[in-house]
A and B are shown apart, each in its own frame.
Chain A
Amino acid sequence: MSDCSYSSRAVSDFLAFFVPWEFSWLVQISIWGALLLYFNGLRRMSAGEMPGYGPIIGFVLGVLLMYLVTQTRFDYWSQYMFFIHRGQHLVLHHLAPFLIALAMPAPVLARGIPDPVRAWFARQGWLRAIWVPVYRWLQQPMIACILFVGLIAFWLTPEIHFDAMLNLTLYWVMNWSMALDGLLFWWLMFDRGRGGITPRLGYGTRVLLLFAVMVPQIIIGASITFADANWFEVYAVCGRAWPLDPMTDQHIGGLITWIPAAMMSVVGALVILRFWIYDDAAQYAARTAPARA
């Protein structure tokens, strides 16, 4: 009897986890829309054009991670515990966009758009005329770096963080800005398609940029970890999800801002080095092939 009620409680707790704390139509439409477009694109591709299993799994995982941290119980914990909030931003700004950009989903997503819609967009020259320069301006190496680190610093400014946690509209602006900037940055890092509008940076430049954003993140993360004052009073003001010492919460939050975030730069650099070696080998093969013939 007690076993039965225990397991039914576990099931209802498990299901309760998937009830969004702050339901958002915009997030729901974006997430399920992206997955729908992607699978429709895959369906319409020939066997030769299809990406491998790796990119498909990476893309789906990245998109689902974004859903998980914004439209489940996880979002509640993020609002009422600083270190979980840092975990949420680690996913939104680093991990999920990293996986999505690495999967290079653009050709698949483009193929997934129904033909009439694509034809309509193709006719809207003005849209492209606005979007392309704005996008290319945002994707300049300096701007991309400043945005990437600047947004972390901006939302972690204690006064701004306070208001963002108190006002739901600002909270959504914060999370969207992190997710979109994460996509921009990692897209720039991992772009290797042909004929896109993303500026093609040299591999050396990319590795350099990854280290350029790593250093300030270490400084921000370490400052929070070693701070001896409680900088983020809003979590005390609003109450924590469960009783936890405020300084412990802040220390763990600082460590999450510091170590896994910096590690993502290292992992990103390793991925880019792999592209580099692969491309060099391909170029070498191309150069030597005619000579041998």
Chain B
Amino acid sequence: MNPRRIALIAALLLGLTACGDESWHGKSIEGLMPELEFELTAESGETVTESVFAGRPVALYFGFTHCPDICPTTLARLVAAARRLPEPLREELQLAFVSVDPQRDGPRQLSDYTDAFSDRMVGLTGSQRQLKAFTRRYRTTYGYEEERSDGSYNVSHSSAIFVFDASGEPRLMLLDSLGVAEIAADLERLLSREARNADNA
């Protein structure tokens, strides 16, 4: 645990940040969660790690392609918000969709699904063990409903978009109550700050 994280947790315990960082529309998760790390299967069927994002900021969402409502609407809002970003920032941001339903979401299915939203979106999935490890790391979970007679079933999953910065540090959680404009504002603020830091460095 790095000293900054300890200090942040201490501040949390004192209730200083109990109400969150009001200046974001989403919720700041800086210091609350560990940095990006995973081993999953890409759309190509290959096993990949967080290095697949090549040091770019990532907006990541957990779902499943048979999801009737929340996943498509959330991903559509994310894509619409990303399109509103000014040119250099738009190129920077990587979008990722992690399916927690590997039984139905093979590489082909995932690739068709993510391509329908944006060519900047990568689809990932994995074995139950890999997915459990990854979701648990971000204190989220998922579960399956009993299969219906037609073979369909519902899946519970996280409803938030997790945003990681270029160094893989968790920064923001965009809740599903946010609109396109709010998501765009948060992403622009975070990414332009990142870009400034990169220039200064």
Query: A173-B13, A243-B155 in contact; A162/B143 too (CB < 8 A)?
Result: no
Contacts of A237 in B (CB 8 A): 140, 158-160, 173, 175
Interface string of A158-183 (1 = CB under 8 A from B): 01101101111110010000000000
> B145 interface residue, CB < 8 Å from A?
yes
Contacts of A240 in B (CB 8 A): 141, 143, 156
Interface string of B141-155 (1 = CB under 8 A from A): 111110000000011
Q: Which residue of A lies closest to B8 (CB)?
A: A167
> A238 interface residue, CB < 8 Å from B?
yes
Q: Report whether over half of chain A's contact residues are helix, strand or loop; otherwise say mixed.
A: helix
> What is the interface size of chain A, counting residues whose CB is below 8 A from a CB of the partner?
24
Query: Considering residues A160, A162, A236, which has the most beta carbons from chain B within 10 angstroms of its beta carbon?
Result: A236
> B201 interface residue, CB < 8 Å from A?
no
User: A170 and B12: CB pair below 8 A?
Assistant: yes
Query: A237-B173, A238-B158, A241-B156 in contact; A170/B142 too (CB < 8 A)?
Result: no
> B76 interface residue, CB < 8 Å from A?
no
Interface residues of B in 1-53 (CB under 8 A from A): 9, 12-13, 15, 18-20, 27, 29, 32-33
User: B20 and A80: CB pair below 8 A?
Assistant: no
**Inter-chain CB contacts under 8 Å: number:** 78
Assembly CA distance A241 to B156 (angstroms): 7
| Cβ-neighbour of A166 out of B19, B32, B176 (below 8 A) | B32
Q: Report whether over half of chain B's contact residues are helix, strand or loop; otherwise say mixed.
A: loop
Contacts of A76 in B (CB 8 A): 141
Q: How far is the CB of A222 from chain B (nearest CB, A)?
A: 25
Contacts of B13 in A (CB 8 A): 169-170, 173
> A191 interface residue, CB < 8 Å from B?
no
> A239 interface residue, CB < 8 Å from B?
yes
Interface string of A223-245 (1 = CB under 8 A from B): 00000000001001111111110
| Cβ-neighbour of A239 out of B12, B15, B143 (below 8 A) | B143
> B171 interface residue, CB < 8 Å from A?
no
Contacts of B27 in A (CB 8 A): 162
Residues in chain B within 8 A of chain A (CB atoms):
9, 12-13, 15, 18-20, 27, 29, 32-33, 62, 100, 135, 139-145, 154-160, 173, 175-177
Residues in chain A within 8 A of chain B (CB atoms):
76, 79-80, 159-160, 162-163, 165-170, 173, 233, 236-244
